[in-house]
Structure 1
């Protein structure tokens, strides 16, 4: 009887542990898991900093590049895993979504040349002869150490499109008078043609992102109304984005002289760049500035190959605002740090200067960044220090996902890139 009880108890514990893993599993994100990994770039190979999307079986590729500041040569492996629209694993066999092999080693690496900070640069192109997707959808690219998938180094989101739906979309002022001067609204229509859509509320959903920022993305599960094979999303209360402000930026393509937004450059045993103090920009009126929509480019005017001859510098940022540290904390974010609100992006208040400071170790290039205010309750506000203006130039990504009744995975079947100032 006791043996039977112990057997039953062990089964219950196993089931509870599996349930806990299922309940608390987190969706995949763009993340870096090692402090020595820097300057991660991931883009469609035709254009740097572009949205990492390819058409299935089209010959298009994406490029991944990153540096390891520890130097030397490490044994990095990689794979891609199919996910649903919310970046949860699809839980299907690798044979169903991968061609050839399940994982492979990164063999393309180079050592830095004539830099103060030594590093090894790794590069990878996908799809390739060893790893390639079979079906459309979201894929998470995983890079890990020692052939062990549990030793994650970084993850990146890859979008593989199998176009089956036409998208018509436009950006208009907010329908709400209270936000007409601060927001941008996206209306769109999907035409699924001959695609089998029995229940639009279940079979199709559409994700809208502003400047590829997942924290402000909006998922559309239900059309406003249906007209034949067209699904129309135009309700006055949906897809209304705070337009924000143009990104702040700096230029370190050369460390020999001061350039945009740089106060002073110190070059000794390490490179240190003192930035001009940033002001609080939450003002009444919009000011036109040209930006990169949050992106960054690794560049070096004094070298020939910025992948291996661009150097690193300690970038000292400062922010002047009337907001006091007892009410919250500012964070400095952009694509360069995946918009992560963590200890690395957190700014510290200096009572002597009455300013907030942070130091980031960044590779030479041109960078966009912005400040996010997080109050004492942990609520993030993207516009508290930047303001929000309808005139702001923004990119919007429209991604359409399809999963008919009985299907075991979700496919990416439509994509459209919009710009708020370009028709």
Structure 2
């Protein structure tokens, strides 16, 4: 009953994978095994999908949860590694940034209950009595099998804050007339009076991210000017982001009835969800739509514990592009797949003139968007199918990094969250 797909030669698929995949490394948000699904990593005292930033030497904690669809239990281990602001290894000994053990086994797992798709749910809370942190900064959490880091399962980025500077800013229209209707510009200041740095131009860097997406982030290495202990970043040519559009969404919190974007639900030996067709949204004017800024939430309204009784479904997407398949291909991205443009997120052309794909997703609420990739340039176009508007509501994260005097590492010393005002 599912849509038919064109079959691509193996060589072409391998070529596309090599060109389009974001580089997977031990220092990004990556999943290395196809049977690992529904990875969530968030601050415990916030709602799920909250940005994983915690304060050093506080009661703050983060939770990692994920499912293993291969069933049974496996020997998963975990560790943390300190990184610089660009997510390169700080090359420190674990004894320099960990108070306790270097690694630990992941013992907390539960089998699914009452679901068509059987899985094992794993969960981890950090810091804990076996793994605790000494210094602030960027950390990559590594999950691997049999105590062997060559058998990497997944990685997540953790931000540990030692708040010693004040950062704040505003979101304004760009000075450039040609981008005033599409882009958003950030002007901000950092007051470093609380830290001792020898050269603020050299020792302080500020990363600006839109909706927690590091692949589109902008690193500020030099302020526009210095006013006392304030670093001012307001040059007309920096920190300008495309506004984009509000994310599309669908809701599978229950598989007993159709929600707003669900066309049909089939339940037999597996769950199948057919979403309504998506049109291109590259229109002249902005349309208000409430979204979750790309996030997703695992929720099952029909059960008691979404971690283990939420089921999986094959969710079918289809989009009309007004573009021939000879020019390019759309990809579907969101936090649920770490915004990865790769073979797993690639859509295929159907004989009825639309692009289709199906993804195996756990019950919940999902934000997503379509990215058009041109066959000739291999470059992603985030706005060809979604549009680009200054009015779009977005979140911006400001992360301030400093290198302590005489230290061999960078610390996260400031964090601020900015939001655009809904129109």
How does the TM-score come out when normalised to structure 1? 0.93
Q: 2:210 aligns to what?
A: 210
Q: 2:374 aligns to what?
A: 375
Q: 1:242 aligns to what?
A: 242
Q: Structure 1: any 5+ residue segments left out of the alignment? A: 1-23
Shift of 1:407: 2.0
Contact 1:137 1:160 in 2 (8 A): yes
Contact 1:82 1:137 in 2 (8 A): yes
Deviations 1:181-227 (A, max 9, x none): 11111110000004222222210000000001111100000000001
Q: Higher mean Cα deviation, 318-327 or 78-87?
A: 318-327
Q: 2:352 aligns to what?
A: 353
How does the TM-score come out when normalised to structure 2? 0.93
Shift of the 422–200 alpha-carbon distance from structure 1 to 2, 3 Å rule, reads farther
In 2, Cα distance between equivalents of 1:159 and 1:374: 31
In 1, Cα distance between equivalents of 2:422 and 2:303: 35
Deviations 1:55-98 (A, max 9, x none): 00111000000000011011110000000001100001100000
In 1, Cα distance between equivalents of 2:254 and 2:415: 37
Q: 2:224 aligns to what?
A: 224
In 1, Cα distance between equivalents of 2:39 and 2:70: 15
Contact 1:209 1:397 in 2 (8 A): yes
Contact 2:294 2:334 in 1 (8 A): yes
Q: 2:29 aligns to what?
A: 30
Contact 1:294 1:369 in 2 (8 A): yes
Structure whose CA Rg is larger: 1
In 2, Cα distance between equivalents of 1:214 and 1:406: 28
In 1, Cα distance between equivalents of 2:118 and 2:194: 56
Q: 1:9 aligns to what?
A: none
Shift of 1:405: 5.4
Tell me whether 1:417 sits opposite 2:417 in the alignment. Answer: yes
Q: 1:306 aligns to what?
A: 306
Shift of 1:326: 1.5
Q: 2:364 aligns to what?
A: 365
Contact 1:27 1:88 in 2 (8 A): no
In 1, Cα distance between equivalents of 2:283 and 2:262: 23
Shift of 1:27: 6.9
Contact 1:349 1:356 in 2 (8 A): yes
Deviations 1:270-312 (A, max 9, x none): 1001111111001001010110100000001110100000000
In 1, Cα distance between equivalents of 2:202 and 2:407: 12
In 2, Cα distance between equivalents of 1:258 and 1:187: 44
Deviations 1:156-185 (A, max 9, x none): 000000011101211111111111111111
Q: 2:16 aligns to what?
A: none
Contact 1:249 1:291 in 2 (8 A): yes
Q: Secondary structure, in 3 states, of the residue corresponding to 1:100?
A: coil
Contact 2:61 2:126 in 1 (8 A): yes
- Root-mean-square deviation (CA), in Å? 1.4
Tell me the number of residue pairs that the alignment of Structure 1 and Structure 2 aligns: 399
Matches within 5 A, 1:49-68: 49-68=49-68
Tell me whether 1:140 sits opposite 2:137 in the alignment. Answer: no
Q: 2:93 aligns to what?
A: 93
Q: 2:17 aligns to what?
A: none
Matches within 5 A, 1:277-292: 277-292=277-292
In 1, Cα distance between equivalents of 2:357 and 2:403: 45
In 2, Cα distance between equivalents of 1:291 and 1:383: 17
Deviations 1:99-121 (A, max 9, x none): 11000011111110100000000
